[in-house]
Amino acid sequence: MSHIIILFSLTLHCLNYVDGDKNIGAIFDDGTFLLESAFKVALAAASEGQDDPFGGTVVKTSPGDILETESAFCSLLENNIFGVLGPTVQGPLQHVQSITDSLEMPQMIIKPEVSQNRNWSTVNLYPHHIAYSQIFADIIQMKSWTEFTIIYEGAELLPFLDNIITMQNTNSGEKILMNLVQLPDGDDFRFQLKTVKSSGSLNYLINCSLKTLPLLLEQAQQVGIMSDDHSYLIMNPDFQTVDISPHKHGGSNITGIRLFDPSLESIQTFITSLNEKVVELSEGQIENAIADDALTLDLALVYDAVILYTSAVNAMELEEGANVTCEDNESWEFGSSVINYIRTMEIDGLTGIIKFDEDGLRSDFEVDILEVMAHGFEKVGTWSLEDGYTETRTVIPPTEQEGSDSMKGKHFLILTALSAPYGMLRESAKKLEGNARYEGFGIELIEELAKMNEFNYTFDIQADGVYGSYNPKTKKWNGMMEKIMDGRADFAITDLTITSARQKAVDFTSPFMNLGITILYKKPTKEPPNLFSFISPFSSGVWSWLAGAFVGVSVLLFVLGRLAPEEWQNPYPCIEEPETLDNQFTLANSFWFTLGSVLTQGSEIAPIAVSTRMAGSMWWFFTLIMVSSYTANLAAFLTVESKFYAITSVQDLANNPYGITYGAKKGGATFSFFKESDNLLYQKMYHYMDDHPEYQTATNDEGLERVKSETEKYAFLMESTSIEYMVERNCDVARVGGLLDSKGYGIAMKKNSPYRQPMSESILQLQEEGKLIRMKDKWWKEKRGGGVCQDDDVGGGDAQPLVLANVGGVFIVLAAGCGLAVLCAFLEMLFDVWMISHRMKISFKDEIIAELKFILSFSGDTKPVRHREPSGSGSRSSKKDKEDSGEAESIGDNRLDPAPTPRSERSSHSHHTLHSRRQSNAVQMARMRKYSGRSIL
């Protein structure tokens, strides 16, 4: 049956020959020409200068197909081979191994094979796993890792961790903590990497295939574990062939090894020959299969295996190959001798010195230790079994680019919080991944900064929204601050306030936004119209001053009326020589006069004297202005809707007049402001908030919801920029009062970070270019429903009562006018007294004393006429007439009469008018005597 299968299988693979006298077989996977080309290049190199060149028979099998591989191997035996190379896949390899062992057919292996037995006919050029693991154990010791996570791909790689897993302490005696994480099948390792990240581990030992490695590094970058604080140790020997450019500026320390230096001439010659061979085998379809720096270990090992084996055959001068078959159970008589000989050999191959220990294992080899630098790979040391790790690193002086270009190409983990509009989840019908999941002001700002400084970044969300405050009891920071300080994130951006306490723990960039603390509360409610709103146009102060002015001017008019001689009038115009004179400015009349003009109604009273007219006109002017101002402001009050403001300032809030509770974000900068303030009012508010932790919120949004709540009277102390954002979208809330302080938001980073300066410079540049303000308008006013409340208050506004400052000027004018009127009244009085004293030839002093006594007695509105003209002389006017015509006039009694006697009329009427009036008075008096029969004098 097995024969049938073998025959059947033989039809499935084809043999490929290289002419030569000494034939070596090789079993490779179907698919690539590389291994086959390497084999043929090596045979050519081994045959160079040989009389009996080596030939080869290559058979290709489907990867992992054990039966096909067995038949392939058996068919190789028919070619009288000296030995076999391969296969390269684990299952078939072990199967063929058991056959070669029984046939004592030397087998060269180039793949890790942990179950290799020293007695088997196998020689493995791949470094032995125990020695291999020792390389990394030594590097870990050298790096003094006290914790690390081993990330490995398949269980078959576990033996390569032998010497690492058994490590207990560092060289300095510190305990080493290690985690093991196995990568799943497939190509998504993000979940495992996130777990590693959340464990807080910063050092990673990676053992995975060459195919997986770039993917893993890329996903590590996405997850955010590729920053300055993370270190990687890569176990794959082909690490140097990976395209490391996405990670070389990322800041992480990435270390690996190599078994050969690709820049060596022997390697470059091999690569050239290899590429030529691939072109030949693929009939020109594949060109430049291998780049100058992309030679993998398996190809170099194929070459070394052929050289090693052919050297042994040459040295042993074997002429005949093994004439054995799978069917006969006979073994090759020289087989074990060849194996033993090889194990004693030492040659210089592409992969360094090739030699084997007493167990036939390649334990003694030398590797270069590489580190990823900004310019690519750099050899920093060597490792050999004998010497262990030897550092060869040359200290490179910082390049001139360090500083402004120091962020170029690096990858940073940026911490943010879901706080609108700084960081928000992007709304999308599609499932988004990575940074595309977030948007907002902070996200856009980082995009801009990344463009300017050419860095890469991954966002990470602070799930609990805690920005960070210091706990003096535990002496620890929490939230985002803690992560920045611990190096679990490179930058933190959100509405993160720069405070003095935080500045001591981390570095901040220049502020990208300025703000202050203020109050968020429900919009003021509309008040029902006020029945007494007519009082509102003037403040109570103005009303009091107005009342004062009214009383003052009224009294003044009363006094002026008494002072001014013109105001004393003959009550009966028909009597030429009245005994008394009347004054219209009685106290009551004075009040009536002023009231009439205030109410714009007028009165029958008309001032006669200059002084009273002056005071009266000033009062009219005053009332004109006051009434106009009142009317204008009343119109404003009647059109403006009056609103009820429960609180208008932080003082109101602290006094808590309507049972309004208040709070701030827990552990936030606002809360800290009240805590740290030495202002008594703010201290009082801090104690209130501290005593009522239930009024503190976890986020600003929670604060907003409480403010909006119908069931609660709650005011939220918050930062003005966030309030601006909220009132744009929530029309039922408003900002109350002014700013309590002034501060800014900045991007936080580790203390003494070299990135502070370039980031600050870029922020200032964005500010100067006006980009920051445009971004703010976009995220505040346009995006996510901004601007819905914009027109809410149109037609609103607030009418304010007029205060003294608005109308004070008119009071001054009134006062000045009144002063002038008083002066005028005195002059009038003095003049009049002087005239009388002169005319009556009496003492001016006596007359003025008598006049003042009368005035200041304030007794009634009737004044007796003290100085009468001699009889028949007529009125003062007629006397004046006489004086004017040059007639001398005898002077009557110049003393105050015990019985008042009529006094001439002293009106200011014109001479002509007086004359005619005198005539009509005389007629009138005659009539009155006739009819009444009694004297009115």
Q: Which is nearer to ligand GLU, 666 or 863 (CB)?
A: 666
Q: Which stretch binds ligand GLU (CB under 6 A): 134-142, 180-188, 494-502, 599-607?
A: 494-502
Binder to ligand GLU among 718, 733, 789, 799 (CB under 6 A)? 718
Burial of 259 (0-12, 13-18, 19+ CB in 10 A): buried
CB of 479 to ligand GLU, least distance (A): 9
CB of 520 to ligand GLU, least distance (A): 10
Asked if 576 is part of the footprint of ligand GLU (rule: CB under 6 A), the reply reads no
Q: Which is nearer to ligand GLU, 55 or 668 (CB)?
A: 668
CB of 494 to ligand GLU, least distance (A): 8
CB of 740 to ligand GLU, least distance (A): 11
Q: For the chain, give me the number of helices (H) and strands (E)?
A: 28, 36
Q: Which is nearer to ligand GLU, 440 or 902 (CB)?
A: 440
Q: Could you give the string, one character per residue 307-346, with x where binding to ligand GLU holds by CB under 6 A and - elsewhere?
A: ----------------------------------------
CB of 748 to ligand GLU, least distance (A): 10
Question: How distant, in Å, are the alpha carbons of 11, 26, 73, 270, 722 from that of 5?
Answer: 10, 21, 14, 39, 78
d(CA 286, CA 279): 5
**Does 287 carry a binding-site annotation?**
no
Residues 6+ apart with CB under 8 A from 133: 159, 160, 161, 162, 163, 164
Q: Which residues of 688-711 are buried (b: 16+ CB within 10 A; e: fewer)?
A: bbeeeeebbbebbebbbebbbeee
Binder to ligand GLU among 13, 129, 665, 917 (CB under 6 A)? 665
Do residues 119 and 164 lie in contact, with contact meaning Cβ atoms separated by under 8 Å? no
Question: How distant, in Å, are the alpha carbons of 25, 338, 455 from that of 761?
Answer: 66, 71, 15
Residues 6+ apart with CB under 8 A from 673: 517, 682, 740, 741
Q: Which is nearer to ligand GLU, 740 or 821 (CB)?
A: 740
Q: Which stretch binds ligand GLU (CB under 6 A): 43-51, 181-189, 611-619, 663-671?
A: 663-671
Q: Could you give the string, one character per residue 719-738, with x where binding to ligand GLU holds by CB under 6 A and - elsewhere?
A: x-------------------
The residue assigned the tokens 């005239």 is 835
Output phi, psi for 11, to 5 deg. -75, -15
CB of 505 to ligand GLU, least distance (A): 13
Binder to ligand GLU among 183, 233, 496, 660 (CB under 6 A)? 496
CB of 158 to ligand GLU, least distance (A): 47
Do residues 322 and 105 lie in contact, with contact meaning Cβ atoms separated by under 8 Å? yes
Q: What is the amino acid identity at position 320?
A: E
Q: Which is nearer to ligand GLU, 505 or 928 (CB)?
A: 505
Q: Which is nearer to ligand GLU, 39 or 467 (CB)?
A: 467
Task: Return the SS3 of 430.
Answer: coil
Asked if 497 is part of the footprint of ligand GLU (rule: CB under 6 A), the reply reads yes
d(CA 375, CA 202): 24
Q: Which is nearer to ligand GLU, 43 or 653 (CB)?
A: 653
CB of 743 to ligand GLU, least distance (A): 9
CB of 511 to ligand GLU, least distance (A): 12
Q: Which is nearer to ligand GLU, 693 or 886 (CB)?
A: 693
**Does 661 carry a binding-site annotation?**
no
Binder to ligand GLU among 670, 697, 753, 904 (CB under 6 A)? 670
Q: Which is nearer to ligand GLU, 719 or 832 (CB)?
A: 719
Task: Give the DSSP per-residue string, 264-320.
Answer: SHHHHHHHHHHHHHHHHHTTTS----S-TT---HHHHHHHHHHHHHHHHHHHHT--S
Asked if 490 is part of the footprint of ligand GLU (rule: CB under 6 A), the reply reads no
DSSP state of 181: E
Q: Which is nearer to ligand GLU, 299 or 704 (CB)?
A: 704
User: Six-digit token pair at 698?
Assistant: 């976890």
d(CA 419, CA 438): 11
Q: Which is nearer to ligand GLU, 145 or 671 (CB)?
A: 671
CA angle in degrees (0–180, nearest 5) for 115-117-118: 145
C-beta nearest to ligand GLU: residue: 668
**Does 502 carry a binding-site annotation?**
yes
Binder to ligand GLU among 29, 304, 490, 495 (CB under 6 A)? 495
d(CA 125, CA 298): 9
| CA terminus-to-terminus distance, the chain | 172
**Does 156 carry a binding-site annotation?**
no
CB of 645 to ligand GLU, least distance (A): 23
Binder to ligand GLU among 125, 669, 707, 775 (CB under 6 A)? 669
Burial of 173 (0-12, 13-18, 19+ CB in 10 A): exposed
The residue assigned the tokens 């990435």 is 254
Closest C-alpha to 550, from 593, 594, 506: 594
d(CA 448, CA 538): 55
Tell how strand 456-461 and strand 491-492 pair up.
unpaired
Q: Which stretch binds ligand GLU (CB under 6 A): 158-166, 404-412, 542-550, 666-674?
A: 666-674
Q: Which stretch binds ligand GLU (CB under 6 A): 14-22, 218-226, 255-263, 668-676?
A: 668-676
Asked if 556 is part of the footprint of ligand GLU (rule: CB under 6 A), the reply reads no
How many residues make contact with ligand GLU (CB under 6 A)?
A: 12
Element containing residue 616 per DSSP (H, E): helix 610-639
d(CA 853, CA 840): 19
Asked if 668 is part of the footprint of ligand GLU (rule: CB under 6 A), the reply reads yes
Binder to ligand GLU among 148, 189, 422, 467 (CB under 6 A)? 467
d(CA 799, CA 816): 31
CB of 779 to ligand GLU, least distance (A): 16
Residues 6+ apart with CB under 8 A from 493: 414, 415, 416, 422, 423, 442, 445, 446, 747, 748
Q: Which stretch binds ligand GLU (CB under 6 A): 385-393, 529-537, 596-604, 665-673?
A: 665-673
**What beta strand segments (E) does 62-160 contain?**
84-85, 107-109, 122-124, 147-152
Residues that bind ligand GLU (CB under 6 A): 467, 495-497, 664-665, 668-671, 718-719
Q: Which residues are annotated as a binding site for L-glutamate?
A: 497, 502, 670, 719
Q: Which residues are annotated as a binding site?
A: 497, 502, 670, 719
